[in-house]
């Protein structure tokens, strides 16, 4: 299906921002409603949490976030306080007086926004009555066995009740704007609109409900969007009631938004409404004061205390040096790019591929813990000998002697070191997975590893480490947070088929780590639009839309093999470029799309007070990063035919010239004429089957 272009955004430092008038926020109240407010379940939590700071900066004390109450989350993430607004306090009191508990406080994240949390358990006795109200209102019935849908109705009914009490108390001023995220909170929007509560509403779908289910069934989804019988598909998957809630919320909202152009096309077919605004997901970009500090962080986190230490202990006596790759694959994503990588024959290079994703396990396996114990023994032995060496050297220098380095360590010291070395000898291969899997025969990753025969043998140039748990700094095996781990890797691989946005490659980008994504992810489409040659900037975009599965897999293989061919200097240059793209993902600029959506919603809900051209996009200047001229656009065009040593290679004298400051300045000056929704810049070619609108 044809993809339209998203609204363009100017996001390089020092460039002019939009010329759109700011809203009179002092005379408005903004409520962001999401199931993941203080409740980390998935990617929407990241959106809400990271966007809070710039929203608080704009709205101040007039921003309130609403979500479900969970006692543990409230006790650990929220500082309870009294509502500063008397009308909000009275509306909460109306619910509390009827036994439906509502809690208020400040969410302890950057920006410290106010939160209003609704205890669905305390109001569950109203469920049957509220089910009847929903049926009478819009003819949607909820089955008793779907607890998530029932909880969403309880939550939505409490939210609608709250807004009714609030608007009755406020009267005509200040006006209320409510932004609902995802179907779980859609019932609240539906009830507010059906009861004619005077507030402006926005509904954002971060991924359509039915799209998730269909793509999980290994279907060519995007090339068959127009062929699905939507009602039948939802009914066969027993989610018709959820689909009806989502679709009703979409059509009830004054403004409908989604996070990417690829999801906008999907929503138009699945939900039968074209999004009014595309609101790309951003991140809070922390700029480092020292030049290339992110390069230093990469080097540090790859050092002995972090990823590299784990690789050494895990594959002790099996590895000399590593290119570390982290990857994320669904059950439908192939692993057949490994055989080509395993053909890398240079003896001093080994590629270590980490799979970090949850699976059913019962504990760490013995071999993994044994490797950790061996590494600790080596570490302790080295420190013991180092301390003894230092003490004897110090004593000799105090006497004014230059010690004989051949005698400063005695025979016992050498014996201890030899024993430590002999203890590292392996009689088995390093395990592929770090945990005992409960169902390893049906696990898609392990099944493919067996099929292609990569068992971490000494001759394998590709080593596999499957870590079937999310990373945590409290883990006894790999004690680091996700950010630390990403910085310690060379490349992130995220070739998902269904990825409405894709935060993982975005997080790699802002940390200066190259990544692989696809043209079916919102992030990949966004980068294709704004970067002339994404590969040169470390964004490898696999074509999973217009190529067959085998062709896409071959393209992914070539991307990864080409990356392995880069010299250390080429990787450093590429990381510099990757980090420069972080400006594109900064909420300070992408947040403007949300501002536009709010203005549009207010103009539709209160046309007498807020004027705006209905179809007018934000005024902004379009831009595209050019292909850098200093380095070939593809690593496969490098002069090197085989991979080089990761850390000890010398810079080649015949390397192409490169000046980071000059290249960055050219990027900043590369401003083109504005282009808006539906327009394709001059010279931009469309893919086969893709129109230019």
Mean pLDDT of 617-623: 46
Measured CA to CA, the distance from residue 271 to residue 209 in angstroms comes to 10
Measured CA to CA, the distance from residue 163 to residue 144 in angstroms comes to 27
Question: In this predicted structure, what is the pLDDT of residue 314?
Answer: 64
Question: In this predicted structure, what is the pLDDT of residue 557?
Answer: 87
- Whether 544 maps to a domain, the answer reads yes
One domain for residues 299 and 370: no
Residue 678 has pLDDT above 60, yes or no: no
Q: Give the CATH number for residue 269.
A: 3.40.50.2000
One domain for residues 360 and 370: no
One domain for residues 224 and 75: yes
Measured CA to CA, the distance from residue 293 to residue 600 in angstroms comes to 41
- Residue bearing tokens 């203890």: 423
Mean pLDDT of 436-442: 90
Mean pLDDT of 388-392: 89
Question: In this predicted structure, what is the pLDDT of residue 599?
Answer: 93
Q: Which two tokens stand for residue 507?
A: 């997080």
Residue 114 has pLDDT above 50, yes or no: yes
The alpha carbon torsion through 289, 291, 295, 297 (nearest 10 deg) reads -30
Mean pLDDT of 623-636: 55
Question: In this predicted structure, what is the pLDDT of residue 634?
Answer: 44
The CA-atom distances, in angstroms, between 371 and each of 359, 423, 428, 462, 469 are 22, 10, 11, 19, 19
Per-residue pLDDT of 656-667, as tens digits, reads 566 777 777 666
Question: In this predicted structure, what is the pLDDT of residue 191?
Answer: 97
Please identify, among 563, 584, 605, the residue that sits at the C-terminal boundary of a domain.
Answer: 584
One domain for residues 158 and 289: no
Helices and strands in the chain, H and E counts: 23, 17
Measured CA to CA, the distance from residue 293 to residue 567 in angstroms comes to 20
Mean pLDDT of 411-423: 87
Per-residue pLDDT of 504-535, as tens digits, reads 999 999 999 999 999 999 999 999 988 888 99
Q: Centre a 10 Å sphere on the Cβ of residue 597 and count the other Cβ atoms it contains.
A: 24
- In this prediction, residue 424 has a pLDDT band, given cuts at 50, 70 and 90, of confident
pTM over 0.75: yes
Please identify, among 399, 429, 459, the residue that sits at the C-terminal boundary of a domain.
Answer: 429
Contacts of 504 (CB under 8 A, 6+ apart): 328, 492, 494, 515
Select the more confidently predicted residue: 538 or 326.
Answer: 538
Secondary structure, 3-state, 539-592: EEEECCCCCCHHHHHHHHHHHHHHHHCCCHHHHHHHHHHHHHHHHHHEHHHHHH
One domain for residues 404 and 497: no
Question: In this predicted structure, what is the pLDDT of residue 470?
Answer: 86
Point out the least confidently predicted range of 143-152, 335-344, 412-421, 575-584: 335-344
From the centroid of its chain, how far is CA 104?
A: 29
Question: In this predicted structure, what is the pLDDT of residue 616?
Answer: 52
In the chain, pLDDT over 90 holds for what percent of residues?
48
Range of the domain at 413: 366-429
Report the chain's mean pLDDT, rounded to a whole number.
82
In the chain, pLDDT over 70 holds for what percent of residues?
77
Residue 686 has pLDDT above 80, yes or no: no
Question: In this predicted structure, what is the pLDDT of residue 21?
Answer: 58
Q: Most distant CA pair in the chain: distance in Å?
A: 96
Residue 119 has pLDDT above 90, yes or no: yes
Total domain count, the chain: 3
One domain for residues 164 and 207: yes
Question: Do 258 and 267 contact (CB within 8 A), yes or no?
Answer: yes
Select the more confidently predicted residue: 343 or 481.
Answer: 481
- Whether 5 maps to a domain, the answer reads no
- Whether 693 maps to a domain, the answer reads no
One domain for residues 399 and 500: no
- In this prediction, residue 462 has a pLDDT band, given cuts at 50, 70 and 90, of confident
If you write DSSP's letter for every residue of 133-178 in order, what string do you get? HHHHHH-----TT-HHHHHHHHHHHHHHHHHHHHHHHHTTSSEEEE
One domain for residues 322 and 353: yes
- Whether 175 maps to a domain, the answer reads yes
Mean pLDDT of 554-583: 89
Residue 496 has pLDDT above 70, yes or no: yes
Residue 108 has pLDDT above 90, yes or no: yes
Residue 96 has pLDDT above 90, yes or no: yes
Measured CA to CA, the distance from residue 499 to residue 516 in angstroms comes to 13
Measured CA to CA, the distance from residue 409 to residue 276 in angstroms comes to 75
- Residue bearing tokens 């009861």: 195
Question: In this predicted structure, what is the pLDDT of residue 288?
Answer: 40
One domain for residues 377 and 338: no
Mean pLDDT of 155-166: 98
- Whether 657 maps to a domain, the answer reads no
Measured CA to CA, the distance from residue 232 to residue 239 in angstroms comes to 10
Task: Give the range with max mean pLDDT: 318-322, 557-561, 641-645.
Answer: 557-561
One domain for residues 464 and 379: no
One domain for residues 443 and 354: yes
Residue 444 has pLDDT above 90, yes or no: no
Select the more confidently predicted residue: 687 or 540.
Answer: 540
Per-residue pLDDT of 327-349, as tens digits, reads 665 545 545 555 555 555 444 66
- Whether 249 maps to a domain, the answer reads yes
Residue 60 has pLDDT above 90, yes or no: yes
Question: Do 144 and 109 contact (CB within 8 A), yes or no?
Answer: no
Residue 287 has pLDDT above 80, yes or no: no
- Whether 8 maps to a domain, the answer reads no
Residue 64 has pLDDT above 60, yes or no: yes
Please identify, among 378, 400, 429, the residue that sits at the C-terminal boundary of a domain.
Answer: 429
- Whether 598 maps to a domain, the answer reads no
One domain for residues 444 and 570: yes
């Amino acid at each position: 299906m044809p993809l339209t272009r998203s609204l363009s955004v100017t996001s390089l430092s020092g460039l002019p921002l939009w010329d759109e008038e700011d809203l009179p926020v002092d005379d408005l109240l903004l409520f962001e409603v999401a199931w993941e407010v203080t409740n980390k379940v998935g990617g929407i939590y990241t959106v809400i949490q990271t966007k809070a700071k710039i929203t608080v900066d704009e709205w101040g004390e007039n921003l309130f976030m609403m979500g479900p109450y969970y006692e543990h989350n409230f006790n650990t993430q929220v500082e309870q306080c009294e509502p500063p607004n008397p009308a909000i306090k009275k509306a909460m009191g109306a619910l509390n007086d009827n036994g439906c508990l509502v809690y208020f406080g400040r969410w302890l994240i950057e920006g410290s926004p106010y939160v209003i949390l609704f205890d669905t358990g305390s109001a569950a006795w109203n469920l049957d009555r509220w089910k009847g109200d929903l049926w009478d209102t819009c003819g949607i019935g909820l089955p008793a066995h779907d607890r998530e849908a029932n909880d969403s109705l309880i939550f939505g009914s409490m939210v609608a009740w709250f807004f009714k009490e609030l608007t009755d108390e406020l009267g005509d001023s200040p006006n209320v704007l409510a932004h609902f995220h995802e179907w779980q909170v859609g019932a609240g929007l539906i009830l507010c609109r059906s009861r004619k509560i005077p507030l402006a509403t926005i509904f954002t779908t971060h991924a359509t409900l039915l799209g998730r289910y269909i793509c999980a069934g290994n279907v060519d989804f995007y090339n068959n969007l127009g062929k699905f019988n939507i009602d039948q598909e939802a009914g066969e998957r027993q989610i018709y009631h959820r689909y009806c809630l989502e679709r009703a919320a979409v059509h009830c909202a004054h403004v409908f938004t989604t996070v990417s152009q690829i999801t906008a096309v999907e929503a138009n077919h699945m939900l039968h409404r074209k999004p009014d605004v595309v609101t790309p997901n951003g991140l809070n970009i922390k700029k480092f004061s020292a030049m290339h500090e992110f390069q230093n962080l990469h080097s540090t986190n790859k050092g002995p205390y972090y990823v590299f230490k784990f690789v050494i202990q895990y594959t002790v006596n099996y590895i000399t040096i590593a290119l570390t790759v982290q990857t994320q694959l669904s059950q439908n994503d192939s692993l057949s790019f490994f055989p080509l990588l395993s053909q890398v024959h240079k003896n001093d290079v080994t590629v270590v591929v980490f799979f970090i994703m949850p699976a059913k396990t019962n504990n760490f396996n013995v071999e993994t813990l044994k490797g950790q114990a061996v590494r600790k023994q080596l570490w302790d032995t080295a420190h013991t000998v180092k301390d003894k060496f230092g003490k004897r050297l110090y004593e000799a220098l105090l006497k004014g002697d230059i010690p004989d380095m051949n005698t400063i360590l005695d025979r016992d010291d050498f014996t201890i070191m030899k024993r430590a070395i002999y203890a590292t000898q392996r009689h088995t291969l390093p395990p592929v997975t770090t945990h005992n899997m409960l169902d390893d025969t049906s696990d898609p990753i392990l099944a493919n590893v067996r099929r292609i025969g990569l068992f971490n043998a000494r001759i394998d140039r590709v080593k596999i480490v499957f870590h079937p748990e999310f990373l945590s700094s409290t883990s006894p095996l790999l004690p680091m947070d996700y950010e630390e781990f990403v910085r310690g890797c060379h490349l992130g691989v995220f070739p998902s088929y269904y990825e409405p946005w894709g935060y993982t490659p975005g997080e790699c980008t802002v940390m200066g780590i190259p990544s692989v994504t696809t043209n079916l992810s919102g992030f990949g489409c966004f980068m294709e639009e704004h970067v002339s040659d994404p590969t040169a900037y470390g964004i490898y975009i696999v074509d999973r839309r217009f190529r067959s599965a085998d062709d896409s897999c071959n393209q992914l293989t070539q991307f990864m093999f080409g990356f392995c061919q880069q010299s250390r200097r080429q990787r450093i240059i590429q990381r510099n470029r990757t980090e420069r793209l972080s400006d594109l993902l900064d909420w300070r600029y992408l947040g403007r799309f949300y501002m536009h959506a709010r203005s549009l919603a207010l103009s539709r809900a209160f046309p007498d007070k807020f004027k705006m051209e209905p179809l007018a996009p934000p005024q902004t200047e379009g831009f595209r990063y050019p292909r850098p001229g200093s380095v070939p656009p593809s690593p496969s065009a490098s002069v090197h035919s085989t991979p080089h040593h990761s850390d000890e290679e010398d810079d080649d004298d015949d390397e192409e010239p490169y000046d980071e400051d000059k290249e960055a300045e050219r990027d900043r000056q590369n401003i083109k004429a504005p282009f808006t929704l539906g327009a394709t810049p001059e010279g931009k070619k469309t893919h086969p089957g893709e129109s230019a609108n």
